[in-house]
Structure 1
Amino acid sequence: MRINPRSFKHSFLGLILISGLFLAFTNPGDRFFEIAKNLDIYATVFKELNTYYVDEVDPKKSIETSIEALLKSFDPYTVYYPESEIDEFLQMTTGKYQGIGIILSDINQSHRISFIEENSPAHKAGLGIGDQIISINGTKLGETPETDPSVLMKGSAGSFVNIDVMQVGKTAPQTFSIKRETVQIKNVVNASIIRPGVGYILLEDFNASAAKEVKTALLELKKQGMQKLILDLRNNPGGLLTQAIDICNLFIPKGAKIVETRGKVEEWNKSYQALNQAVDTETPIIVLINNRSASAAEIVAGVLQDYDRAVIMGQKSFGKGLVQVTRDLPYRTKMKITTAKYYIPSGRCIQALDYKHKNADGSAKAFQDSSAKIFYTQNGRKVVDGGGIVPDQLTDKKPLSGFSQALLTKDMLFLFASDYRGSRINIAPAENFAVDADIMAKFTTWLGKSNFNYEAPVETQVKKILESTREQAEYAELSELLQKQAAQWKTNLERELKLHAQEITPLLEQEMIMHYYLQKGLNTWSTRKDPSILAAVDLLGKPAKFASILSRKEKP
C-alpha cells in the first residue's frame, strides 16, 4: 500500500496532538505519562527524519521495521502482520490458500519445487519435486531479488498463472498455464492401519480443521478394526488452542478439565473443559513427540499424559507454554500478542524460556532444571514443569554426523534425487524401495563430480596442529611426517560415505521416495522403517508393560 507523503505528515501531526492530550490530562507520576511522552518523542524523531534526512524516507518500510524491532524485544510469538502478509496469516489459521499447491525453496541458487500437494493444480499439470521455476507471469526469478516467488504464485481461485519451468530430465524450459484453486492444507497427512489392529495418525498442524480431521480419521480407523493407536505429533509446531482442546476432548470424558490460561488481563483468564462426549476413552494410545513438538501439540501430549490416557514416547518437547490472541489493527493489519501462559490439568506450565528476565545479550533465559516443580498425573505419576513435556518412554535420537549435516545443509541429497528422477522414470514402489549398493555407488560418483565441499574433523584438527607449530623448530619435521600420512587424515568423500552409510541411507531413501511418490509414499516408508514408530508398535505389543507405565504410582 502506497502512503501519500502529505497524508503521512498529517498522521504524525495527529499522533503528536494525541500525545499532547495525554500530556495535558495525565498525572506526570502516572505510567501513561511515560507512554505519551515517548510516543511524542518517537513521532517527533520520525517527523525530523522525514523532513531533513538526505534521502527520501519510505514511511511504510520504516514504520514496519520499528514495529518489528519493538515486538522482537518481547518474545518471538508477538508478531505484527502488515496488510501485505494478511493472506499468509489467514493461511496459517484456516489452512487454506489460493494457488497451485507447491512450496518453492531456494536450492543451488535456483527456485525449485520442494513440496507438491497431491492432486493439486500443479500436480495435475505434471510438475514434480525438483523442477526449477524460471519465471512467473513474465517475471524472471533471480533478476529481482526482492520479489517473493510464493506471492507471485498465489492469486484468486479461477485465475491462471503462467510459469516457465525447467523440469528434471528436460533440456529446455516449458511454459505451463495453471488454473489456481483453493488449496486446503491437510493437518492429518496419514491415517492408516500399519499393523494388524494398530492405527496410526500423523498430525502435522493445528489449523481450523485439525480436530475435525482427527475425529474423521479416528472413526474410520475404528471401522477398519483399530484396537491400538499411535498419534504422531513429532515436528508439529502447534497452532490454534481451540483445536488442541477439541482433539483432547476426543479421548477424555465430557466435563474433564483440559487447560487453563492465566495472564495480566484477569477477565481473559479462562478454564477450558471437555464440552462433548469423548469418541474413545479406552483404546491404548502412544503419542510420539520430539524437540520440535510445540504449543498446541504439547497441550495434547501433556493433557493425555496428565490423565494417564496415553504413553508419551520420544524426546523432550520444545517447551512453549504461551498463548497468543490476534488483535485487529487499522488498515487491514493485525497483531498476534502473547497474553497468557497455559496450565494443563496437573497444574504445570511447560514454558521453557523466560522472556521477561533475559541474558545480557538479549536472549531468553532457560528455566533451570533445579527450579522445576513436581506435579502428579491422575494416577500419581511424577511430572515436572518449566521445560517441555518429558516423555514416559525416552527414545534416543543420535545427532547426525557433521558429514550428514553438510549433505543436508547443501541440499546434496535433494539434488541427487532430482537428477535421479530426471534420468529414471520409475523406482520400486514405496513399500519396497531401498537404497542399495548400486544407488549408493551412483550417489558416490555423482557427489564426487558435484561442487560439494566438506572437510572432515580429523583434517581440520591436523591443519590446526600444523598452524599452531608453524613458528616452532619442530614444524618442518612434523609437517613432513603428517604429509606422508595424508591419505589417512585428508578428507575422502568415498570413505566418509562408507563411514556414515548407516545414517545417510535412510535420509537418501526418504528424499528419493518423496521425489517419486510425494507425501503419500513417504508415509508408507515411515510406517515401515521409522525407528520411533517401530518402538511404539513394539510397546503396544506388550500390554502388561504398557499398562505398568501408566499405573506406576509415585505420589507420596
Structure 2
Amino acid sequence: MKIQANKIILWTLIGVLSVSGIFAFTTKNDKLFALAKNIDIFATLVRELDSFYVEEIDPDKLVTIGINAMLEELDPYTTYVPEEESEDFRMLTTGEYGGIGALIGNREYGNIIIMPYTGFPAQSAGLKIADQILKVDSIDVVGKATSEVSDLLKGPANTPLKLKVRRNTDTLEFDLVRRKISLKNVPYYGKLDERTGYIKLSDFTTNASNEVRKAVLDLKNQGAEQLVLDLRDNPGGLLGEAVEIVNLFIPKGKVVVKTIGKLENVNYTYKTSKSPVDKEIPLVVLINERSASAAEIVAGALQDYDRAVLIGRKSFGKGLVQTTVPLTYNAQMKVTTAKYYIPSGRCIQAIDYAQTRENGSLITVPDSLRKEFKTKNGRIVFDGAGIEPDQSVETESYAPISYSLVARSHVFDFATHYAYRHDQISDPSSFQISEEDYQDFIKFLEGKEYDYTTYLEKSVEDMKENAKKSPLYEEVKDQIEALEMKINHSKEQDLITYKEEIMKILSEEIVSRYYFQEGLIQASLDEDNDVIKAMEIFSNPKNLDQLLSASIK
C-alpha cells in the first residue's frame, strides 16, 4: 500500500520527538509534553481512520484540512503551503512565473482572457480581452475550471503552446512561446499636468523599489516638480522593497520600521542605507482601506517623518510579520513571527487576533485604548487602526444600476462589442463615448436582465417586514404599499438619471480594450476624487506646509 507523504511526516515527527527525549522531560516542560502528546494522538487518529473507516480515506486531504483548521485559530496570515502549491506561493512573493502573461477569468460563456499584460507573449501574439479559450495545445478546455486552464497555460519558459480561441464569430489559433513573466509593480506612471508626476505602485514584489526609482527619475527628467505616489489597493509584499522605497525620499541612516516578536532573531531595526533620490520634492501618498502591510509601512514612515501628505481613507491595518519556514517533503509554512512598528513607535495592526480567538468575532482596538504618538514635527498620530490619512476623502459611491450593469458583465460585454466595431480610439485620458454610443448601449441592454434593488426600496422593504410583526400592520398596510408603488424604480429612468456615471464606467472599460492595464489606470485619473484632492493641495504650497506641521484632525 502506498504511504502518503503527510503520514510519513507525522510518523517521522513522532520518532524525532521520541528519540530526542522529549517524553523524558514531561515534568520539566509541560508545553513540550502537551505538544508531543497531541501530535501522537493526531497521528494515531489518522492511522486508525485509515484502518477502520468504512470507506477509503485520502490521508493527504484529511491532514491538510486538519492543518488548515488549526492555523485558522491563529490569524489569516499563518498558512500551510503544500508542495503542489509552492510554485503559486513563489509567484505571489516574487511576481514571477512561466507562462503567456495574461489574466484569465470565467464568464457565463466560458474561460476568457481578462487582461493580456503589455509586452508579454499573449499581447505580442495578438490575443485580446474577451477571447474565449477553447483549446490549450490538444486539450479541450471548454467547461473546465479556470484554475485548470491557468495551470495548462503555465509552464517552463521557452516552451511552446498552441491556443485556440473564439473571438466574436471567428475561431482563431495562436502559436506562443512561454516566457518568464515578471509582473510589474508599477503598471503605470505619467504626468498629471506639467508640474505633477503620478506613480501607481500596485505591489511589493522583487524589484519594486527599482521600478519606483526609475519612475521618479524619469518623471523629474520630464519636468515633474511634485509627485503623487498611489498605494491604493496595494496588498503589500516584501519588507525590503518597502524600506528601499522610503529611502528614495528620506536620508540615509533613518529608521523605517522595527520588527518585534517573542524570539530574539526576529527583532530587527530596518534603516535607510543609501542617499535619497530626492528628499525635498513635494509628495502626496494615496491610501485606502485595501492598502496593507508594506504599503502601510511606506505610507506610515513617510507620514512619521512628515515627508508626505497622506490622502484617502484609513488603511487596512496589517502590522504582522510573516516568515516562511520550510517543512519536510517540500512543504512550507508562512507563520506570523513579529509585529511592525514604524518610526514614531506605533504599531499599525488593527485586529487583536488573540482576543478574536477567544471571542469568536473580530476584535479591533477600541479608540479608548489607542495610544498617542508624534511625528517628527510633533503632529499627533495613533496606533492600533492602520494608517489614517492627513486628508480624508470619502469613497466614491455608485448607483445600484451601475453596480448591476458591471456585476452582470453588461459593461464588459458592451466594451467588447464596441471594440469589434472600432479599430482604434483616441488616447486614454481624452476618450469618452458619444451620445450615439450610449444609445447603442441602451439598445444592447434590450432583453438582458439587470434588475436591482435601490437603497430606498431596501429601506421600505425592511420597514414592511418589521411592520408585519406589529398588531397595527393592517392599519398601515395600505400606506406602506402606496409608498412602495411611489418609490418603485424604473430601470429605463435610471439609465437617464445616472447616464453620466454609466458613460464614465463604459468609457474606462472600452479604453482597456485598446490600451490594456496602463490605459485603464490613466483613463480613471481625471475624475479621481483622491487625485483631485492632491492637486488642490499642490496648488498652494502653504497647504502642504500647514498639513505637515499641524496636528491631524
Q: Give your verdict on TM over 0.5.
A: yes
- The equivalences for 1:113-128 within 5 A come to 113-128=113-128
> 2:26 matched to 1:27?
yes
Distance 2:544 2:365 in 1: 31
Classify 1:474/1:277 alpha carbon distance in 2 versus 1 (closer, same or farther; 3 Å).
closer
Aligned to 2:512: 514
CA distance in 2: counterparts of 1:242 and 1:107, whole angstroms: 38
Q: Distance in 2 between matches of 1:278 and 1:299?
A: 17
* 2:131 maps to 1:131: yes
> Residues 354-373 of structure 1: matches in 2 within 5 Å?
354-358=352-356, 362-373=360-371
Counterpart check, 1:151 vs 2:151: yes
Name the counterpart of 1:270: 268
Residue identity (%) = 39
Quick check: 1:68–1:79 contact (8 Å CA) kept in 2? Answer: yes
Q: Distance in 2 between matches of 1:310 and 1:501?
A: 37
Deviates more, 1:325-334 or 1:369-378: 325-334
Q: Structure 1 residue 186: deviation in Å?
A: 0.6
Which residue does the alignment assign to 2:166? 166
Quickly say closer, same or farther: Cα 1:476–1:281, change in 2 above 3 A: closer
Provide the rounded CA distance (Å) in 1 between the counterparts of 2:88 and 2:4. Answer: 30
1:383 maps to 2:381: yes
| Aligned counterpart for 1:219 among listed residues 217, 231, 253 | 217
Secondary structure in structure 1 of the residue aligned to 2:223: coil
The Cα shift of 1:497 comes to 2.5
* Residues 363 and 163 (structure 1), Cα distance of their counterparts in 2 relative to 1, 3 Å cut: farther
CA deviation after TM superposition for structure 1 residue 323, in Å: 1.0
Distance across 1 between alignment mates of 2:536 and 2:305: 23
Counterparts of 1:322 and 1:398, CA distance in 2: 29
Which residue number corresponds to residue 432 of structure 1?
430
C-alpha distance in 1, partners of 2:551/2:8? 68
Aligned partner of 1:528 in structure 2 is: 526
The answer to whether residue 221 in structure 2 is matched with residue 231 in structure 1 is no
Moved more, 240-249 or 497-506: 497-506
Distance (Å, rounded) in 2 between the aligned partners of 1:480 and 1:527: 46
**Stretch deviating more after TM superposition (395-404 or 323-332):** 395-404
Output the amino acid matched with 1:130: A
Q: 1:8, 1:87 → 2: CA distance?
A: 19
The whole-number CA distance in structure 2 between the counterparts of 1:219 and 1:462 is: 56
Q: Read off the aligned partner of 2:86 and give its amino acid letter.
A: I
Over 3 Å counting, the alpha-carbon distance change for 1:89 and 1:434 in structure 2 is same
Alpha-carbon distance in 1 for matches of 2:417, 2:193: 34
1:13-46 CA-partner distances (Å, limit 9, x unpaired): 4444445455632224521010001001100110
Q: 2:306 aligns with which of 291, 305, 308?
A: 308
Secondary structure of 1:156 counterpart = coil
CA contact (8 A) 2:419 2:513 kept: yes
Instruction: Quote the RMSD (CA, aligned, Å).
Output: 2.8
Equivalent positions of 1:188-203 (< 5 A) are 188-203=186-201
Tell me the residue number matched to 2:540.
542
Question: Is 1:45 the equivalent of 2:45?
Answer: yes
Is the CA contact 1:341–1:349 (under 8 Å) kept in the aligned structure 2? yes
Query: Given residue 90 of structure 1, which amino acid in structure 2 is its aligned partner?
Result: R
Q: What does residue 319 of structure 1 align with?
A: 317
2:334 aligned residue (317, 333, 336): 336
Equivalence map 1:242-257=2 (5 Å): 242-257=240-255
Alignment partner of 1:448 out of 446, 449, 456 = 446
Q: CA offsets per residue over residues 342-380 of structure 1, 9 Å max, x none?
A: 111101011111111116673331111221111110000
After the TM superposition, which of the residue ranges 270-279 and 490-499 deviates more from structure 2?
Answer: 490-499
Q: Is the 8 A contact 2:116 2:128 kept in 1?
A: yes
Taking structure 2 as the reference length, what is the TM-score of the superposition? Answer: 0.92
SS at match of 1:62: helix
Cα pair distance change 1:142/1:379, threshold 3 Å: same
Distance, in Å, in 1 between the alignment partners of 2:278 and 2:17 is 57
Any conservation in 2 of the 1:313–1:391 contact (CA below 8 Å)?
yes
Label 1:79 to 1:485 Cα distance change in 2 as closer, same or farther (>3 A): closer
Q: Which runs of 5+ in 1 are unaligned?
A: none
CA distance in 1, matches of 2:343, 2:189: 28
Structure 2: how far apart are the matches of 1:522 and 1:53?
55
Cα displacement (A) at 1:461? 5.8
Partner SS state of residue 353, structure 1: coil
Q: How far does residue 100 in structure 1 lie from its aligned partner after superposition?
A: 0.6
Aligned to 1:358, the other structure's residue is in SS state helix
